[in-house]
Amino acid sequence: MKMKKRVMWLMACLLVLVSLGFTAKAYAAYKTDYVKFTFVIKPKQKNTSTSTRYRQTTNRNRAWTVQLGSSEEGWMTYTRFWLEKSNGENVSKAFNASAGGPRLYNSAYSSASKQNVKLTAENNNYNNASYSCYGTWDEETAYIISGGQLLNRP
């Protein structure tokens, strides 16, 4: 009888350890990295982009993020950002981020699933201006967008 209880106790402990391992792996897969970028935004809305990063999720609502820390164009000026594949295919909607503004989150298209993607930017105004800017981004985060709202807000 004692032996049976010990075996059951060991099996329960093993089950807990295995469960914790899978949970930690799933959480680590969607760790938010906040990768730094520095761009020179080109005139006439010509694109500038980072190197690619692998977006491993298949959930199109798993948010990607960008925060524009600063821009030579000025505080609270806008720069347009989106994700694209290395072949130039856009894999998310574009949106404007303001220099010094909050971190923004966006969903991606299903074509971004299990793909190398890059952060791409352009001047939100069609003009001859060129300026430097910097900030952080991540191709996938631990957050989900549902109905236009960010769930599990950081």
Chain segment 86-136, per-residue pLDDT in tens: 999 999 999 999 999 999 999 999 999 999 999 999 999 999 999 999 999
Element (H, E) at 26: helix 2-29
Q: Is 0.85 topped by the overall pTM? A: no
Contact 91, 109 (CB under 8 A): yes
Cα dihedral value 31, 33, 34, 39, nearest 10: -130
Whether 154 has a pLDDT exceeding 60, the answer reads no
